Structure 1
Amino acid sequence: MRMFLKLNSLRKPSVHVKAPGVLALRWRLQRCCFCSSPQNESSNISVLRHLTSKIKATGPISVAEYMKEVLANPVSGYYVRNDMLGADGDFITSPEISQIFGELLGIWCVSEWMAAGKPKHFQLVEFGPGRGSLVTDILRVFSQLGALLQSTNLSVHLVEVSPRLSQVQAQNLTGEDSQSARDENEPAYRRGTTATGLPVSWYRRIEDVPVGFSLYLAHEFFDALPIHKFQRTERGWREVMVDIDPDMADRLRFVLIPAPTLASSTLIQADEQRTHVEVCPEGGVIIQKLTNRIAEYGGAALIADYGHDGTKTDTFRGFRGHKLHDPLEAPGTADLTADVDFSYLRRMAGTGVACLGPITQRHFLHNMGISIRLQDSPLCISPGSAAELPQRLYSAAPAPGLRYAHQPEEDGRALQIPRPAEPPAPLLSSGRHKVGEEAPSTTSGGWIQRTGTLAGEELRSTLREGVIGQA
């Protein structure tokens, strides 16, 4: 399911200071899929050859290392080489179902900015912005609320590792008005300007984004970060790793390492009750960095992903052509993903901010006024009618996950994974969702109350008048 958590600063807000006192770090869970682009067979062979060479030299590799090589290798990585979004890709997401999704997040951003005391400097930061659809819809809201934001120094900052997608984003956001940095050591590797004059910058890491009051958005970003997998055994926790199948040299398999690893000794909580656990240390590091920035400079973070609150076990899987795909088959030709453990992210956030939520995307959209928005501007909805759109935004049909065929034993043998079953037909006809899964969650009761009181009638009247999001 999709969930949303909110982090607030422990300081009280003040509308008289530049650095706001109300700090929020929010996150949602979501996951859905639907598309697949034609795959390059030679690229697949190259990735597999690289992985098998690495394993032969060093032994089995962790699932985290496998994901890094397959998804983010600078030469052959899936996210580096492929256009994975859209009808010809491997998945699509909520902003492409309708522009209304992004417009409502735009209202959320303005509400947070107002609740923080309307600081003069306002950075909108998105992680993994896809084709730029979400930020485009948000900026449309900002443009139509120009009277509120006219005295604000607003800028857009995109964290994107894919050169190919950054070019698509630049074209959609800035047209021809962008250029790559001349010096590869510059923090921003691309800069441009929107048609309304807003500066847009691209970065590879959060560390390169300038500090200051910021609203951070991560929509279906954390689910693709590398995870470690662990299995409880009679002799304690052992790590699941990736090895070469001894019977088929061109295939990979999961194995259970008989001895403890550094990861299995340090990443599992002492009170863990599950028998199988997935941990994403990189996600925890990013959360800590966001928390530190928000605590010091002000802002909020909304993190949307499919996930759970520390209850699920084996969720690692692949998606190719909008269908479930064995994550070890044809590496480099499919998206790899695992449900986000929000209980882990909350622990990583620490006590410097307050975590609220999670709640479902359905509740978030409802409380953000999607019904009012549909009544005011039904003509912008495509495909389908206004009556059908909420359900397409709320959820998609659940898909079966990959599961181990048997309980692994501590003998180093392969963990057998069955061929994935065909997922049910998705309810979503478009949008950045991976096919066959429920739509994201996105808000907390605490934030909804602040929206009603602090954002005030300025935003509510704008929605009633139908100003937002005219196509």
Structure 2
Amino acid sequence: MSLGELIDLQIRTNGPMSVATYMGLSLTHPRLGYYKGADPLGAKGDFITAPEVSQMFGELVGFFLVNLWQQMKEPRSFTLLELGPGRGTLMSDVMRVAQRAEGFANAAHLQLFETNPVLKAEQEKRLAQYLPYWADEIGALSDDPLLVVANEFFDALPIRQFVRGEDAWHERQIGLRDGKRAFGLSPTPIPAEVLPEEVRDAPPGSIYEAGIAAGEVMATLAEKIAAQGGAILAIDYGYGRTQTGETLQAVARHAYADPLEAPGEADLSAHVDFDALGKVATKAGLVVQPLTPQGLFLKRIGIGERAAALARANPGEMDAIEAALKRLIAPDQMGDLFKVFVAASPGISPVGVGR
């Protein structure tokens, strides 16, 4: 039985399901979920992330993390946690640079949060020398200071959607219409008071996406960091102020697809509400830096200089290096679409972010 058939059976048995339940099943079903299958990254997969574009991305993240560690007075033991490490490419580039800082590699206890067995095997190949530990729960951490890296992680966490009707808000659900999966609305109205103030009075037809799962992850990490010291770096596509608008999308084989068409066979994601995550981190006691476009962040911490050095060392690859640089920082490519979110313990001044 396919995942689509299992979902349809669940709907027939229990009634329509929330968008969050559908996303969760589509992405992380124990046997048939998208992230339980083959490698979704790269030219043969469904999307390409920044670390796969160029080594420069991970190298600069490595520099950023070393700077944080130094500002933390170089603790002799700390946890370096990556959420959704992909093939291990980002962390491999990070550690290649970071280990040049005396004491960093020996102090770092590398922890990876990953559910895809194919990607875990890739991570083992690339990162074995750093003795990584794979965590089953995000909150299962030591009492050491904590540095967290999350590149294109929060966008894949399930969201709930709410639609403003003529008189009230209703949760958007997925049911069956003429035997096919279709969107509909719960008949039960949602009290406007439970929604953020910024969206309560939106006009009829407006859609609000609530990243409840993302907020729970942020709360867990922020509370640990507030108690133990450290910072979280999250890079993703999203927006800086809570707002209405539908961003749920499906991507299969590098092309947009119908989110309801083939669950388990396409990547589902939604833009991240960084405003909401910032409020969670602030409540826990962290200092949240102004959201910064990826291109500006990378330029501030030296991607131009790094690209020039790579081109000098590899003159035959100059065009490829220039193309990768443009893809990472150009406003019409990844430069403005992706945002850099940093929340840290008081007293830490992260480089590259802010106004």
Task: Tell me the equivalent position of 1:103.
Answer: 59
Report SS of the residue matched to 2:99. Answer: helix
Q: 1:155 aligns with which of 84, 104, 109?
A: 109
Task: Tell me the equivalent position of 2:126.
Answer: 172
Question: Percent of aligned pairs with the same residue?
Answer: 33
Structure 1 residues 107-126: aligned runs within 5 Å? 107-126=63-82
Partners of 2:87 and 2:295 in 1: how far apart? Answer: 24
Contact 2:234 2:341 in 1 (8 A): no
Alpha-carbon distance, 1:443 to partner: 6.1
Residue identity in the other structure for 2:212: P
Partners of 1:144 and 1:112 in 2: how far apart? Answer: 15
Residue identity in the other structure for 1:213: P
Alpha-carbon distance, 1:154 to partner: 1.9
Alpha-carbon distance, 1:199 to partner: 2.2
CA spacing shift, 1:211–1:266, aligned 2, 3 Å: farther
How many residue pairs were aligned?
342
Task: Tell me the equivalent position of 1:342.
Answer: 274
Task: Tell me the equivalent position of 2:166.
Answer: 234
Report SS of the residue matched to 2:338. Answer: coil
Task: Tell me the equivalent position of 1:403.
Answer: none
> Does residue 288 of structure 1 match 2:222?
no
Task: Tell me the equivalent position of 2:259.
Answer: 327
Report SS of the residue matched to 1:377. Answer: helix
Report SS of the residue matched to 1:260. Answer: strand
Q: 1:357 aligns with which of 275, 285, 290?
A: 290
Partners of 1:47 and 1:386 in 2: how far apart? Answer: 41
CA spacing shift, 1:153–1:222, aligned 2, 3 Å: same
Contact 1:103 1:141 in 2 (8 A): yes
Partners of 1:452 and 1:325 in 2: how far apart? Answer: 38
Task: Tell me the equivalent position of 2:305.
Answer: 372
Task: Tell me the equivalent position of 2:33.
Answer: 77
Task: Tell me the equivalent position of 1:411.
Answer: none
Contact 1:363 1:443 in 2 (8 A): no
1:41-84 CA distance string (max 9 Å, x none)? xxxx6101110110011110000000011100111111012321
Which is richer in helix? 2
Residue identity in the other structure for 2:165: T
Q: TM-score, normalised by structure 2?
A: 0.89
Alpha-carbon distance, 1:294 to partner: 0.6
Task: Tell me the equivalent position of 1:268.
Answer: 195
Contact 2:111 2:133 in 1 (8 A): yes
Report SS of the residue matched to 1:442. Answer: strand
Partners of 2:39 and 2:331 in 1: how far apart? Answer: 23
Alpha-carbon distance, 1:105 to partner: 0.3
- The alignment yields a C-alpha RMSD, in angstroms, of 2.6
Contact 1:363 1:442 in 2 (8 A): no
> Does residue 256 of structure 1 match 2:211?
no
Runs of 4+ in 1 over 6 A off after TM superposition: none
Comparing both chains, which one has the higher relative contact order based on Cα–Cα distances under 8 Å and sequence gaps of 6 or more? 1
Residue identity in the other structure for 1:364: F
Alpha-carbon distance, 1:302 to partner: 0.3
Task: Tell me the equivalent position of 2:85.
Answer: 129
Residue identity in the other structure for 1:202: W
Q: TM-score, normalised by structure 1?
A: 0.68
Contact 2:19 2:160 in 1 (8 A): yes
Residue identity in the other structure for 2:338: P
Structure 2 residues without counterparts, runs of 5 or longer? none
Alpha-carbon distance, 1:347 to partner: 2.2
Alpha-carbon distance, 1:350 to partner: 3.6
Task: Tell me the equivalent position of 1:245.
Answer: 177
